[in-house]
Amino acid sequence: MSATAKGLILLCRPGFEPECSAEADVLAKRAGISGKPRTETNSGCVHYVFDEIFDWKLAQDATPFHALVFARQRSVWVERLSDLPTEDRATPLIEAIEALGVQIGRIEAETADTNEAKTLGGFLKRFIPHIERALSARRILRNKADLPTLHLYFKDSSQIDLGLSDPGNASPWPMGIARLRMPRNAPSRSTLKLAEAFDALMTEDERVQSLRAGLYAVDLGAAPGGWSFQFAERGLHVFAVDNGPLADALIQTGMVEHVKADGFNWRAPRKQVEWLVCDMVEQPGRIAQLVADWVATGRCKRAIFNLKLPMKKRFDELKRCRQLIDSRFKVHGDSYVLRIRQLYHDREEVTAYLAKIHPHTLPSDKQSGR
């Protein structure tokens, strides 16, 4: 017996439900899946409901998490429990999980990222351990890393949606929220955005290869230095390009050279630049073209950058930025990897990772929009 998919459960930043719905619709229809999104304004959640029901693993493989930008978390929706009795919510939930016929490796209790949903925190801390003990006793919860994750999405304490995902095909963080500690000496909280991007957008091999001491990075729009800080802490040398001031403590590390210049016109004096990062407040299309030019022409090997999306037509603007990047690489006939995600530490922007693909790179990485 295998669980059947009703649709997808997509968690997003409140206010971005239209963009999350649009990309889910595009992804599903590209895979030949018919369905429609259901959501509410500022709910922080989208249910993409399939018109037909089929095996949950097929649904998951057809809608891979890495292809989504605006969804912080994605699971395959397999069951809904509504109107749970206050006196015993556990029994019907345990029975529903058992009826799925799926062994699981772990449980993630999830809510929307809203003030209303946060009131469930205390209830979930008491409730979930009881469910985990009961499922362990029934040998459904096995604590094995290769088994699926069971997502329990609580709209409130009386309605629970059950979702499934395989390891590596969902966010590793509960609800897709990276809870990072603010470094004591960091010049600004924007440093957390780049720290999250390293984990969310790069593979472990890519991090090991590119975040090594002694390499060079360029930070366009650096002030006050939150992104430069991430490289300096790892022993990379940084050209911090900005007419504004940098934090004195950052300069004193000896790893950061402050360049007072326009980030659109400045060029690095060294040929072997590993990194370009850019958090400048500018039209997203202009940033996309600038960064693509750096990577495509070999002035840097890889880049992480923000695209500040307009309030209207965000989804269309992101599509346009992808096309601009693709056009730039076609001039040279090169392949590239592009991964984009709206991170937890993003606001009205999305964060992207771009790198040219070299011959030794696996063919599965060859893409123009992952």
Q: Where in the sequence numbering do the catalytic residues fall? A: 308
Residues in the chain: 370
With both helix axes pointing from N to C terminus, report the angle between 191-201 and 226-233 in degrees, rounded to the nearest 10: 60
324's tokens: 């601009």
34's tokens: 């018919």
Residue 33 is which amino acid? I
C-alpha triplet 28, 98, 127: angle, nearest 5°: 95
**For the chain, where are the alpha helices, taking DSSP H only?**
17-30, 56-62, 90-99, 115-118, 121-137, 191-201, 204-210, 226-233, 248-251, 284-296, 314-332
Quick one: how far is CA 370 from the chain centroid? 11
CA-based nearest residue to 287, from 340, 347, 226: 340
In this structure, is the dihedral angle defined by the CA atoms of residues 246, 250, 251 and 256, taken in order, positive or negative? negative
Q: How far apart are CA 137 and CA 142, in angstroms?
A: 10
- From first CA to last CA, the distance across the chain in angstroms is 33
- Run of H or E residues at 4: strand 4-12
137 CB-near residues (< 8 Å, 6+ apart): none
Q: How far apart are CA 259 and CA 266, in angstroms?
A: 9
Q: Would you list the DSSP string of 80-135?
A: EE-S--TT-SHHHHHHHHHHTT--BSEEEEE--SSHHHHTTHHHHHHHHHHHHHHH
